[in-house]
Amino acid sequence: MNEITNIIEESVSNLFQSHANSDAVEVMESGGFPSRFWEEFYDGGWCGITLPEDEGGAGMGLAGGYILMRLSGYHAVPLPIVEPIISTHLLSLAGLPPQNGFSTVAIADSSVENEGSYHFKRVPWARHASGLVVVIPGESDARLVWIDRAQLKVAERTNVAGEPRDDVMVNNEALKGAVILPGISPARVLSWFALGRAAQMTGALVKALDRTVEYANERKQFGRLIGKLQALQQQIAVQAEYVNYARCAVDTAIIHLDSPQEWECIAAAKISAGEAAGKVCNTAHAVHGAIGFTREHLLQMSTRRLWAWRDEYGNEAQWATKLGDLCLGIESGSLWPWLTEQSHK
Amino acid sequence: MNFEPVMLSEKENALREEVRTFLAKQKHFLSNHSVIDPWFACVPEFSLLLGAQGWIGMTFPRKYGGAERSYLERYVVIEELLAAGAPVGAHWFADRQIGPLLLRFGTEEQKNFFLPQIVRGECYFSIGMSEPDSGSDLASIRTKGKRVDGGWLINGQKTWTSFAQNSRYMVLLCKTTASSDDRHEGMSQFIVDLESEGVTRRPITNLAGEEHFYEVFLEDVFVPEGRLLGAEGNGWNQVMAELAFERSGPERFLSNFQLLAEALEVLRSSDYREAARQTIGLLVTRLMVLRQMSLSVASQLQSGALPVTEATIVKDLGTSFEQEMVDCLRTQLVVEAGNDAAERIGQLLCGSILKSPSFSLRGGTREILRGILAKGLGLR
């Protein structure tokens, strides 16, 4: 990791740590928006971290964005992070002007079109957004359009973690004038958001493990720390294995961005993070016992997010089916050569 | 814990092509031997060929016959060999851990004597650790070394010693001083010539019907002074230093890769193709990520680190993957397994089923590995 990355990590961690407390999360869960926190993040210019410097960004590319997403997952930040950053990136790629406030995203296909309007389900943070980026499948390249919040009909919904996942209706007319996203398929756009969730998940996985180890080292039963019990040690060891497994998968996908292997590495990242989420949450709650089942205990801030995020932008089964289909379709006898294309410059 | 991903360079890519070209000419070695568990298939002729290519001991210094290649280059060569099911068992332990052990702790005379022979693919080693009453609890071993004029006299018994019949030497761990309070103290490592007087080797047939592990009886076996490996009493630490090499390699998740590759061939044109997509996607994901984790450890070994905890994770997740793969695939394939099955897939499945218990036993059981991890996490 280079120096710039370290500085960014430190500065954003400090910001997240000072604001992402359970009060801010309660504000979010009761339908509000932690505005001061958001303003500090927004005014820091972090939504443009991926943009080139001549567009006012930090020149870090998507890889830089994923650093912030991972940190937001670790700190259970009750703000939209993935959607504003990637939407900003998409607008720039499409040559469209940046928008004030933040945009969220929806992917349009025929399944969501009905009688002159599009019905998008579970759009992240739509109620608080200033606009919606709609990605439309094209002949090969995706097309993209930005729609002002005023044109959206929003029905408020939430995910397992109480984060806004709203149903949005928009008139077909609003999608006219979409511009081409040169060289980028809709599947690729979806994969970038999926990697965003996976990156958040690795942050939350690390936090859940940290809390579990800490609790096992302070809770006493039968006259000794429960962390000294072999039965628990074995479970926590496996938990740590899956946390590291998911982290490696996500980091691998990040270094394969823009390579021909980008898509399959992202698929593996979302699958791995999803698989890890279930196992890691199970052990975290088993070790914490009843106290971890309370709303008051902070463990739920990580585990509820993991349960929600593993299903968003495609769950493990959906991604595995696509990846498996790809593998079954490659040339006979070439699974190994296909596999070893990964990690080659 | 560190699993920073690694990108290989043009250099490794070119080497990979070289290995593939070489293997394409060795088809008879690949078809005549068990391709499940290729690192337990012992074929000295093949080891000699690899030695001639410079692909054994490739990280060793030039002055001992090595090629001073990097651990990542070695990684590429061994993953190609294993994925192809090449019989690399004869020289495996010498290449993987005895060489590095000698380089770290051996005397100049030992390095000059053993390393060039290892590199040529003609000098094979077994590992003498387990005993009848000491499996996972390695520190409880009872084999003893007693100092005598000009060397040591060894008495005791080793078991589960792979390839003891094919190997000329065994690196033996034994007690050299009476037990103290610290059970890890007072152990030493020796290089024992298995053709010495007083050594008896007796094969043990495994449940797959093969004889690759042995009981080794040592009765007043004389080991000259010059064959003490490392410092007297430092045996336990030396064994621990091997673990990062022993537990992190691609052999921990590629033992039955041929089963997956063949399953893909069978499924692609079967009625079960649609139904199998998810299973294949999940298995390939495992393989992709484990490979990256293992590559990351290789790169850390290259930089001089000994990532023992990371290696432990690779081994536990990797061998679990090898075992789960057998169960996942057998229900997708709808084929009955048998060593003499007409279809190759049935044979591969049979080999995988019968060998799979050993995947997570050899080199430290699952429970031992998890105990090490717990300690690394600060829980013990």
Chain B hits for A327, Cβ within 8 Å: 264, 280-281, 284
Asked about B343 being catalytic, the answer comes back as no
Q: Per-residue pLDDT averaged across B209-226, rounded?
A: 96
Strand partners, A133: A105, A146
B247 vs B283, residue with greater confidence: B283
Interface contact B260, partner A, CB < 8 A: yes
Chain B hits for A275, Cβ within 8 Å: 282
In the predicted structure, residue B27 carries a pLDDT above the cut 70: yes
- For B292, which of A328, A333, A343 is closest by C-beta distance? A343
Q: pLDDT-based confidence at B41, cuts 50/70/90? A: very high
**pLDDT-above-70 percentage for chain B:** 99
pLDDT by residue (tens digit) across A245-284?
999 999 999 999 999 999 999 999 999 999 999 999 999 9
Helices (H), chain A: 3-19, 22-29, 35-43, 61-74, 82-93, 186-216, 230-255, 262-288, 299-309, 316-329, 335-341
A336/B83 touch (CB, cutoff 8 Å), yes or no: yes
Task: Average the pLDDT over each of A65-69, A110-114, A228-232 and give the range with the smallest value.
Answer: A110-114
In the predicted structure, residue A308 carries a pLDDT above the cut 60: yes
A245/B371 touch (CB, cutoff 8 Å), yes or no: no
Mean of all residue pLDDT scores within chain A: 95
Chain A hits for B316, Cβ within 8 Å: 237-238, 241
Q: How many CB pairs under 8 A join A and B?
A: 162
Strand partners, A135: A107, A144
| Interface probe with A: pick from B2, B269, B284, most Cβ of A within 10 Å | B284
pLDDT at A1: 54
Helices (H), A49-181: 61-74, 82-93
Q: Which of A268, A277, A112, A109 is nearest to A202 (CA)?
A: A277
Closest residue in A to B275 (Cα–Cα): A321
- For A325, which of B7, B277, B373 is closest by C-beta distance? B277
In the predicted structure, residue A177 carries a pLDDT above the cut 70: yes
- The span from the CA of A80 to the CA of B319, in Å, is 39
Q: In the numeric block, which tokens belong to residue B117?
A: 């022979």
Interface contact A2, partner B, CB < 8 A: no
Closest residue in A to B259 (Cα–Cα): A335
pLDDT at A319: 98
Give the CA dihedral B328, B331, B337, B342, nearest 10 degrees: -110
- For B3, which of A236, A247, A339 is closest by C-beta distance? A247
Q: Which of A143, A132, A148 is nearest to A179 (CA)?
A: A143
Neighbouring CB atoms inside 10 A of A114's CB total 11
B214: Cβ contacts below 8 Å, ≥ 6 apart: B126, B159, B161, B162, B163, B164, B165, B201, B202, B203, B204
| Least Cα separation, residue B239 to chain A (angstroms) | 22
With beta carbons less than 8 A apart as the criterion, state whether A38 and A79 touch. yes
Question: In which residue are the tokens 């995988």 written?
Answer: B352
B1/A244 touch (CB, cutoff 8 Å), yes or no: yes
- The span from the CA of A197 to the CA of A69, in Å, is 8
A213/B287 touch (CB, cutoff 8 Å), yes or no: no
| Least Cα separation, residue B380 to chain A (angstroms) | 6
pLDDT by residue (tens digit) across B222-265?
999 999 999 999 999 999 888 888 899 999 999 999 999 999 99
Give the DSSP H or E segment for A221: strand A220-221
- For A241, which of B264, B287, B317 is closest by C-beta distance? B317
B15: Cβ contacts below 8 Å, ≥ 6 apart: B73, B76, B77
Closest residue in A to B260 (Cα–Cα): A335
Q: pLDDT-based confidence at A102, cuts 50/70/90? A: very high
DSSP string, B263-277: HHHHHHTSTTHHHHH
B281/A322 touch (CB, cutoff 8 Å), yes or no: yes
Q: Which of B91, B108, B83 is nearest to B46 (CA)?
A: B91
B279/A324 touch (CB, cutoff 8 Å), yes or no: yes
Question: In which residue are the tokens 């990690």 written?
Answer: A343
| Interface probe with A: pick from B259, B278, B309, most Cβ of A within 10 Å | B278
pTM as predicted: 0.97
- The span from the CA of A64 to the CA of A49, in Å, is 6
Question: In which residue are the tokens 């998890």 written?
Answer: B370
Q: Per-residue pLDDT averaged across B194-218, rounded?
A: 96
Using only the alpha carbons of chain B, give its radius of gyration.
Answer: 21
Q: Say how many Å lie between the first and final Cα of chain A, rounded.
A: 18
Distance of CA B303 to the CA centre of its chain: 21
pLDDT by residue (tens digit) across B291-339?
999 999 999 999 999 899 999 999 999 999 999 999 999 999 989 999 9
- The span from the CA of B175 to the CA of B275, in Å, is 56
With beta carbons less than 8 A apart as the criterion, state whether B364 and B127 touch. no
- Of B73, B80, B131, B246, catalytic: B246
Q: In the numeric block, which tokens belong to residue A209?
A: 């493990």
Mean of all residue pLDDT scores within chain B: 95
- The span from the CA of B371 to the CA of B171, in Å, is 25
pLDDT by residue (tens digit) across A277-289?
999 999 999 999 9
Q: In the numeric block, which tokens belong to residue A73?
A: 């997952």
Helices (H), A256-314: 262-288, 299-309
In the predicted structure, residue A302 carries a pLDDT above the cut 80: yes
